[in-house]
Chain A
Amino acid sequence: MDNSKMCEICEEGVVASECFLCKRRVCASCLSQSICVICNETLCTNCRKQLSDRACNVCGSLVCEDCSVKINEEIICLNCNPKRRF
């Protein structure tokens, strides 16, 4: 099969749609509610709007830049930050 028509994730199914967030061209089984399975696993656990690019050093949840702060080289999510003792 033509590679351009194959799902970018499973490399088996036929491309059905494009992921709204990452623009991967994926098959129906790798897509759910307009986002692909990769974006679904990496979505920010706080806002659920953007892809995460870090994990909170305290609770380990995946968060995006907007939902985290950097304190002394440590990434802290907005949920854990107010609970920290200084």
Chain B
Amino acid sequence: MTFLHIGFDDTDSPLGGCTTYLCAKIVEKLSSLNVTFIDYPLLIRLNPNVPFRTRGNAALCLRIKIKEDLEEAVKQIVLEEIKRGANLSFRNTNPGIVFYEGEKIPPALKKLSIKTMQDIVTVKEALKTAETVGAEIHTLKSTRGIIGALAAIGSLLENDHTYEILTYRIPENYGKPRKLDFASIKNMNSATSPNTFCNIDDGRILITPHGPDPILYGIRGETAEIVYAAHNMVISLEPIERWIIFRSNQGTDMHLRLIKNISQVRPYASVILDGEVCGKPKTIPGGHIIVQIKDSTGKIDCAAYEPTGPFREVIKHLIPGDQVRVYGGVRPASSLHPLTINLEKIEILKLAPLFVKSNPKCTMCGKSMTSMGKNKGFKCKKCGLKSSIFEKSTLEVPRPLSEKLYLPPPRAHRHLTRPKERIGKSSKKPETMFIPWHYP
């Protein structure tokens, strides 16, 4: 028997298509060949800050066990299905398919996988890794797609993972509004949350995408069983062509890497960084909030964008001296702004005291006194007391923030962002697979 790992990436475009859909079709075809799937299909989200991505920067991996004589047939199915389904006419769609044989995944592939999630990887680096580990690569246009394909194979999700069930529409409905029973989604959310997450946010449905892709809806959760049960609670008002359960790194924060200081911040990386707020937060056109933080090596802007809604209020209330830990993706500098961390969340480690100066109280009647001018003292308007010895008093006022982690609402989350329902949770790789995990 042969262990075959199949990774693929970059088959879709903004005009349509979805790599997960091709994966579902490949699974259907391979199932008819009686191959043994040794894991759920993996849906691996890569660094969300790279400019090459189409939407969510996902790559896919299938791990199977087959008889040696079936190997060529399997490879043929995969290559044909991707050739047929990929949107090759779009300039930025560069499908990459990688086959790797072996029971164990080499450390070099695991390392590349982590780097692809947290930073940016060059094609040269990926090609070199493929050669080192002996992976078989196939490209349909340029070689860019092999980066994600290799990264998906290298990702074992041993320490944490989530699941997502994705349902697909019949082709006749592509591009039309999605028809689902809203009440059934609300019921499903009440019955399964927090074991499923990011279903609804403030009355807005989050399980359906909005683009022309074939996905009808996707439900994310802690186990394959719960996402399957949740799927059965949702009433679809249009036909479902197929569905499949993926094991994924979504909602795990796997893209974030703790860096030591600001001097180590690089464009496109996803970072966790400690610093001290060093300026008043500013609101810029569009309703975005910018706050600057510093450490011994420099200063950097952090941005909370308008779609993060109430999260911006947290940033607005920061004051110089607050110690914070910021989480986010690094946006390269342009002529309009310097290097900036796009905030995905923020942890307030220590709040600085906030003092306000106020006029003194009248010693006779207790009323607030008013200033008579610079260095001229204060007078009481009620009882007429005047004195030049009074001074403004300094009062510490309570801060509207606490020393804790703040997240934007689910609608503004990245796919990889760990939602509040998953804080402190982790899931070990399952020993058995839940059945059914795909249809047909």
- Interface set of A (CB-CB < 8 Å, partner B): 8-10, 21-24, 37-39, 41-42, 50-55, 57, 59-62, 64-66, 74
Contacts and interface: CB of A to CB of B under 8 A. Distances in A.
Contacts of A8: 266
Interface string B330-341: 011111110000
A28 to B, nearest CB: 14
Contacts of A61: 91-92
B332 to A, nearest CB: 4
A66 B335 contact: yes
Given A50-B332, A59-B91, A65-B336, 19 more contacts: A8-B266, A22-B266, A22-B267, A42-B50, A42-B51, A42-B120, A42-B267, A50-B335, A52-B51, A53-B331, A53-B332, A55-B51, A55-B54, A59-B92, A60-B90, A62-B52, A64-B334, A66-B334, A66-B335
B72 to A, nearest CB: 33
A55 B124 contact: no
A15 B237 CA distance: 60
Contacts of A37: 122, 124
Nearest to B14: A57
Nearest to B122: A37
A22 B53 CA distance: 20
Contacts of B54: 55
A53 B421 CA distance: 31
Contacts of B123: 41
B334 to A, nearest CB: 5
Contacts of A57: 14
Contacts of A62: 51-52
A23 B13 CA distance: 32
Nearest to B115: A11
B258 to A, nearest CB: 15
Given A9-B125, A37-B124, A55 B332 contact: no
Contact of A53 (B13, B51, B122, B335): B51
B217 interface: no
Interface of B: 13-14, 50-54, 90-93, 120, 122-125, 266-268, 331-337
Given A60-B90, A62-B51, A38 B331 contact: no
A9 B331 contact: no
28 contacts: A8-B266, A9-B122, A10-B125, A21-B332, A22-B267, A22-B332, A37-B124, A38-B268, A42-B51, A42-B120, A42-B332, A50-B334, A51-B332, A52-B332, A53-B331, A53-B332, A53-B334, A54-B51, A55-B53, A60-B13, A60-B90, A60-B91, A60-B92, A61-B91, A62-B51, A62-B52, A65-B334, A66-B335
A50 B123 CA distance: 20
Contacts of A23: 266
A38 B332 CA distance: 12
Contacts of A42: 50-51, 120, 267-268, 332
Contacts of B51: 42, 52-55, 62
B119 to A, nearest CB: 9
A19 B53 CA distance: 24
B306 to A, nearest CB: 12
B216 to A, nearest CB: 21
A21 to B, nearest CB: 8
A60 B93 contact: yes
A23 B338 CA distance: 13
Contacts of A64: 332, 334
A37 to B, nearest CB: 5
A65 B54 CA distance: 17
A9 B13 CA distance: 28
A78 to B, nearest CB: 14
Contacts of A66: 334-336
